[in-house]
Structure 1
Amino acid sequence: MPHTHRVRSRKLAVVAASLTCAVVGGLLVSSSANAAPAVELPPVNASFDYQIGQAYTPAAGVGVVSRDHTASPAAGLYNICYVNAFQAQPGAESQWGDLLLKDAAGKVVYDPDWDEAFLDIRTADKRRQVAAKVNAWIDTCADKGFDAVEPDNLDSFTRTNLISESNAKAFVKLLADHAHDKGLAIGQKNTPQLSTSRSATGLDFAVAEECGEWKECGDYTEGFNDHVIVIEYKQKYFDETCAQWGGRLSVVLRDVLVTAPGSSGYVRKAC
């Protein structure tokens, strides 16, 4: 499910990360001699639909769709595969065993907003074990024909002091390397302070919730140029974001529960 904005401590990037790749014609081309095959990035400023709650037939004109890894991609479109990579889905804690984050008293630590248990990525060994499970989902995304992956909750380190920013970077780099090996692009979900750390994270584009509301869209374009997809959940900020960024970025208004047409709460508009 989408995660509403939490107040984040701002970490200003003082030096832009040196990139070891270039974007050529929508393809991410690595300069490394031993690089994995180039991956295709989402088309810039395309009409987007966020369907991670439930898959449904996209409206006419939609070019990019994000769906849960349990769903199938939309035929003929650019498809992003959503995985909850840093936290356990509610009720799925037993699937993770000793990979759940625990405090000094041995109690599992939960995200206070979404009641999801944090995954323990504090050591290299734990990161490898968690990545093995998440990468199995990424394999499923590739096998189904998705074009990219969206690992959620990169910003979990901002909601517990037991996980560090460096832990998060090291973990998402494992996912990025695996996604690239599978021919998938990989998006940075939220976490604007990491947008200029691409050499450390390996991430290719951004999926930014409420960056217009929180005046953060420029933080994402600093690291990803126009390869930024924006989801707003309030009409006022959608209008403002479209006015400022609609000519450059993909911007969509969705209901916060990302429901399907026919639901009483369904909302979907694009610039």
Structure 2
Amino acid sequence: MRRALLLLAPLLLLAACTSSPDGPDEGDGADGGSTRPPAPSGPHWKPKPGLTWQWQLKGTLDATVDVQVYDIDAFDQSAAAVADLHRRGRKVICYVSTGAWENWRPDAARFPKDVLGKGNGWDGERWLDIRRTDVLEPLVAARLDMCRAKGFDAVEPDNMDGYRNDTGFPLKAADQLRYNELVARLAHDRGLGVGLKNDLDQIPPLLAHFDFAVNEQCAQYHECDRLTPFVAAGKAVFHVEYELPPARFCAQSKKLGLSSMAKKYDLQVWRDPC
């Protein structure tokens, strides 16, 4: 999120879900084990190009925006909020950080200090050592269990390109590929669609593992054409710009088949779509 300063992060816990009336407590993995969830009842959602969307991570949720897809926070929004959006005919994406730690999340204490790296540019957030899948897999699994328990259709895992940043760990591209593939598998195991957040350099090897893409500022950085493999594969690309007005990017977005809009960095209700 807000790539201009780096991305944003949130990470896991079904403790938040089990202590809430919104979610069931079965198979939550909250004890630290990476229990395999029951087989999904049907195929996961695979959004097609051209869908309209709203991305709101802050402020009181406005469920009345006339779009086909909502992308909202895993922890801050309830099962009731997801169900309400479904009643309104929306598909709903679960925003959750898988590559960085946030100190205000209810599961923050579950992350050992030795997997916490440098700050990622936002208060209270630090990169994670994604090589430590022994530690992170059960935590990510618990967080995705929460998304599933709340009824989300898909997940947007954030901070998926730590290897290209100064994380405090000697991360390599191969480490990122392994980790991103793991996150995609964990989402699919739970019947959730999953989107690749930014990480443009690794689109070719990751395309088969992800059902859609979420991108920030590809127009500002002159790289939107790198997302065409998703569209060519019949997979949606949900795209935002923060610093460019729609007149500067919408023509290209429509040509490329992207679902684009302008947003403010705070990711509240305001949007200016193509």
TM-score by length of structure 2 reads 0.74
Name the residue aligned to 1:145.
151
CA distance in 2, matches of 1:174, 1:45: 28
| 2:265 pairs with 1:269 | no
| 2:103 pairs with 1:100 | no
Matches within 5 A, 1:1-271: 2-4=2-4, 38-54=43-59, 56-70=61-75, 71-72=77-78, 73=82, 74-75=85-86, 76-91=89-104, 94-101=109-116, 108-112=117-121, 116-122=125-131, 126-160=132-166, 162-198=170-206, 202-225=209-232, 227-236=236-245, 238-246=246-254, 248-260=257-269, 267-271=270-274
**Aligned residue-pair number:** 226
Query: Aligned letter for 1:256?
Result: Y
Query: Aligned letter for 1:47?
Result: T
Identity %: 28
CA distance in 2, matches of 1:194, 1:155: 9
Name the residue aligned to 1:19.
none
* 3-state SS, counterpart of residue 179 of structure 1: helix
Q: Give the drift of 1:139.
A: 0.9
Query: Aligned letter for 1:67?
Result: I
* 3-state SS, counterpart of residue 249 of structure 2: helix
CA distance in 2, matches of 1:169, 1:144: 28
CA distance in 1, matches of 2:5, 2:231: 20
Show CA shifts across 1:15-35 (max 9, x none).
xxxxxxxxxxxxxxxxxxxx9
* 3-state SS, counterpart of residue 154 of structure 1: coil
CA distance in 2, matches of 1:191, 1:224: 16
The answer for unaligned runs of 5 or more in structure 1 is: 7-34, 102-107, 261-266
**RMSD in angstroms over aligned alpha carbons?**
2.4
* 3-state SS, counterpart of residue 79 of structure 1: strand
CA distance in 1, matches of 2:143, 2:59: 18
TM-score by length of structure 1 reads 0.75
Show CA shifts across 1:182-227 (max 9, x none).
111100001111111126x722210000111112111011244352
Q: Report if aligned partners of 2:72, 2:95 keep a CA contact under 8 Å in 1.
A: yes
Query: Aligned letter for 1:111?
Result: N
Show CA shifts across 1:116-140 (max 9, x none).
2111122xxx213212111211111
The answer for unaligned runs of 5 or more in structure 2 is: 7-38
